[in-house]
Structure 1
Amino acid sequence: MRLDGVGRRYGLRGDWVLREVDLSLPERSLVRFEGGNGSGKSTLLRMLAGVETPTEGQITGRPSCGYVPERFPATMPLTTRGYLTHLGRVHGLSRTVAVRRAGEWLERFGAAGHSDTPLSELSKGTSQKVAVTQALMARPGLLVLDEAWTGLDHDARTVLDHAVAERVAEGATVVFVDHDPGRLAGASDAAYRVEGGRLRPVAEKDGPRRRGGAAGGGKRVRVVAEGPPGQPPPALPASVIAEQLPGGTIVLTAPVAYSDVLLGSLLEQNWYIRSVREESA
């Protein structure tokens, strides 16, 4: 997915919110956007999701998209199950698959008991779980998260962290904004700051960073595994460092956020896990 010369303003003579944004978003990548309030982060995410169109420039190569907006429209006259089934159909799922996946995600987020609750009666935290579920259930190629962790309890935030890792590991592009600078620390493949209507990469001088990682570094896990003869390791996000050793052994160093997904992928492909060790940043 690419943005070339993208700009956005509201009204023919309104101030430019964003200008001259050039950006490449490769598959199997996690990208963080930072910036102060009113800097244009949400505007950028809405354009990435296709909710708004650029005033100038163009966006090409957008895959199927799941989008969690900054505010969830909880006033619609639908139950949780009805809303998620409808959104699943909009995303191209059959009714049967939409109902099944909605149930699976609600269970993961600890909200299965609210399937028949009207949206207007949900708490803020449960509404956010529903908002995240609708974005994840169709397994989008592009996942856009605007403060998606806000309002979630600790367990649900952990579930969303794992869901992001799963989407990236399966080849999707995930872009996100979050007020917590430690969110998915060390797992991002790139980070950008929106400032003065422009987009700039966040460099090493802007704060402590791991190579290709988000602010704050973060713990990593070191996995030593041995694969079947001649079989390459599973496709990996860019933030996972691979070192091939003689005899079919590979050493993988990954952000902790990717550890469960990484181990699951190796075991699914019949790799033998020799050791797993957590390392400090």
Structure 2
Amino acid sequence: MTTRDTTRTASIPRPSTAAAPPTGIPFMRLAAVELRKQLDTRAGTWLLVAIALISGALIALSVVTSERGTLTWTSLVSSASVGQLTLLPLIGVMAATSEWSARTALTTFTLEPRRLRVTMAKVFSASGLGVLVSLVTIAMSALLNVVAILAFDADDSWSVDLAVVAGVALTVVLLVMQGVAFGLAFLSTPIAIVAYLALPSVWSILSLTIEAIREPAEWLDLNSMLATLSMGEMTADSWPKLLVALAVWIGIPMGIGLWRTARREP
């Protein structure tokens, strides 16, 4: 005669058959990782150092050479924006091409297979970094404006042209997005940088030298429109031209880049 030990069997926990629903990586975590990639490399670090040094030098040069009546906080911000508007878009280029140059795209897309989210995280982090650099530049301009007031009898008015400040910040974001777009379209850092610097400039030169295309070329001259935006001189007629130029110089390369990255093997 045998008996079964039912108490011992009942005490063994059974594994749950309901699996927890999969959760994706939060977008802000993706953006933070992409931001760290942009800051961890030597190229990214030295590019930011170069932007800071050039911006500081341009502000100091403006303090020394400008007429005292025209030396204001707004004028210092405008002077500093020249260097950052030229170099900050390169951060966007490197943010888009670093995965493919360093061959880390396989790791990134294994952790987050949705490539569009990764691309949007790159755009968000690079644009945020550009805005942060702009804010630091504005603070640096304020500091040197104090020096100009105390040492060079500059205008002690702290009024600032919000159209200029907002225009510079928006221009920085748009240029960084253009850098990301060209980086995605070419997936090669040197080629993307050359294309970003050369193609819009060549188009601007052609529009100035060939009279037959001068009027329609105004709708595709991104450099001219962004210069107007950064100076706070946008009018009702300028906004449609800016939108068309953005669609051509950011929208088209961004679309090509998204198509390429969606189909290219890491």
User: Which TM bucket (shorter chain)?
Assistant: under 0.3
TM-score (norm 1): 0.25
More strand by share: 1
Higher relative contact order (CA 8 A, sep 6+): 2
Q: Which has the larger radius of gyration?
A: 2
TM-score (norm 2): 0.26
More helix by share: 2
